[in-house]
């Protein structure tokens, strides 16, 4: 699976994930290489995960296929996610929905990416 989108959409996605961070009552944890999806907000002592379990992650590479683009290259569902009926497509949809993105529009971005 490869989905490509411009940097400004990646920034929008990361900001949306930060607004719904697991430590602030949401179920997402964003980092430079992707977004983790958790079962519920973290509720453990001292800001730890507590009873929340990692359902999976959507991972990307920056500056690919060219500068200012991001390529999603992996969607990984954990055993805990599978046990809860979560599939790769579900996980990816949840992450993309954060910023109002769709897989179809991202595939079109690949054709527009300048390989320089």
Domain CATH number, residue 71: 3.30.310
In a domain, 111, yes or no: no
In a domain, 109, yes or no: no
Summarize pLDDT for 85-106 with one digit per residue, the tens.
999 999 999 999 988 887 655 4
Summarize pLDDT for 27-78 with one digit per residue, the tens.
999 988 899 999 999 999 988 999 999 999 999 888 877 888 888 889 999 9
In a domain, 75, yes or no: yes
Instruction: Report the C-alpha gap between 68 and 9 in whole angstroms.
Output: 10
Residue numbers of the domain that contains 34: 3-103
Whether the model clears a pTM of 0.85, i.e. scores above it, the answer is no
pLDDT over 70 at 110, yes or no: no
Instruction: Report the C-alpha gap between 27 and 48 in whole angstroms.
Output: 13
The total number of structural domains in the chain stands at: 1
Instruction: Report the C-alpha gap between 79 and 19 in whole angstroms.
Output: 26
Instruction: Report the C-alpha gap between 36 and 28 in whole angstroms.
Output: 6
In a domain, 116, yes or no: no
């Amino acid at each position: 699976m490869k989905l490509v989108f411009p940097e400004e959409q990646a920034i929008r996605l990361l900001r949306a994930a930060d607004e719904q961070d697991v430590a602030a009552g949401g179920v997402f944890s964003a980092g430079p290489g992707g977004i983790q999806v958790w079962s519920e907000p973290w509720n453990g002592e001292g800001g730890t995960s507590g009873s929340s379990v990692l359902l999976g992650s959507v991972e990307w590479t920056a500056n690919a296929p060219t500068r200012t683009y991001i390529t999603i290259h992996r969607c990984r569902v954990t055993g805990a996610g599978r046990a809860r009926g979560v599939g790769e497509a579900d996980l990816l949809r949840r992450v993309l929905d954060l910023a109002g993105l769709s897989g179809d529009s991202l595939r079109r971005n690949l054709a527009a990416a300048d390989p320089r």
